[in-house]
């Protein structure tokens, strides 16, 4: 404690290192498990007629980044909630993320997708959740849920580690699909936004 009675502020570099260490630990665990769900998710995305992405809060922001990259790859991608998003149907894939697997809007969307015969790929920390039950492919991230305030799994606030891994998983899925496609970066580049 400082003389004023408050704890000294840790350096940003120390916080950055802590976050990197936590992310590295989760990635190492996922890689060590050699989870077949990772490649199964890529297969589902590659074979989908259309891909719909949905997440709430920061998980949703992470999946929007994934949607952009999949669009760069040439997939027909829609962000659920955008006014131009069409109805999901059989042959489509719904890619969702929810740490708890119980987020109401996401579970309802998965139920709708399942009812019309669409495939569901879920990213969650909760393999026994309703969302995981609905999904044909579930990637289980060994990270804290946002309501886990004990700090035993992550020192970060409110699900930060899960959300960071969601973003990296999206990039890993994209990278795997891109490499499999044989397309060059120059071939993807014309799909980048030009109305900026």
pTM above 0.85, yes or no: yes
Residue 166's alpha-carbon distances to 95, 106, 114, in angstroms, are 11, 15, 22
pLDDT at 148 over 80: no
- Domain coordinates in residue numbering, the chain: 35-191
pLDDT bucket at 5, cuts 50 / 70 / 90: low
Least confident of 20-34, 110-124, 142-156: 142-156
User: Which residues are catalytic, by number?
Assistant: 163
- CATH of the domain spanning 35-191: 3.40.50.10490
Cβ atoms 51, 78 nearer than 8 A: yes
Most confident of 24-33, 42-51, 138-147: 42-51
More confident residue, 104 or 8: 104
* Count of C-beta atoms within a 10 Å radius of residue 85: 15
Write the CB contacts of 57 (distance below 8 Å, at least 6 apart in sequence).
163
DSSP 12-35: HHHHHHHHHHHHHHHHHHHHHHT-
How confident is the model over 89-101, as pLDDT tens digits? 999 999 999 999 9
Write the CB contacts of 133 (distance below 8 Å, at least 6 apart in sequence).
none
């Amino acid at each position: 404690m400082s003389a004023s009675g408050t704890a000294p502020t840790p350096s940003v570099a120390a916080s950055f290192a802590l976050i990197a260490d936590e992310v590295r630990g989760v990635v190492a665990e996922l890689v060590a498990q050699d989870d077949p769900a990772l490649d199964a998710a890529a297969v589902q995305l590659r074979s989908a007629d259309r891909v719909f992405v949905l997440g709430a809060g920061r998980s949703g922001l992470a999946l929007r980044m994934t949607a952009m990259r999949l669009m760069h790859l040439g997939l027909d991608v829609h962000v659920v909630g955008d006014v131009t998003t069409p109805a999901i149907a059989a042959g489509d894939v719904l890619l969702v993320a929810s740490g708890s697997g119980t987020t109401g809007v996401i579970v309802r969307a998965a139920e709708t997708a399942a009812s019309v015969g669409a495939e569901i790929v879920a990213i969650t920390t909760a393999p026994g959740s309703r969302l995981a039950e609905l999904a044909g492919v579930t990637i289980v991230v060994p990270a804290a849920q946002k309501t886990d305030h004990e700090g035993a799994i992550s020192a970060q606030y409110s699900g930060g580690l899960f959300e960071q891994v969601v973003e990296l998983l999206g990039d890993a899925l994209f990278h795997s699909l891109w490499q499999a496609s044989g397309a060059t970066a120059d071939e993807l580049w014309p799909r980048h936004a030009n109305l900026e």
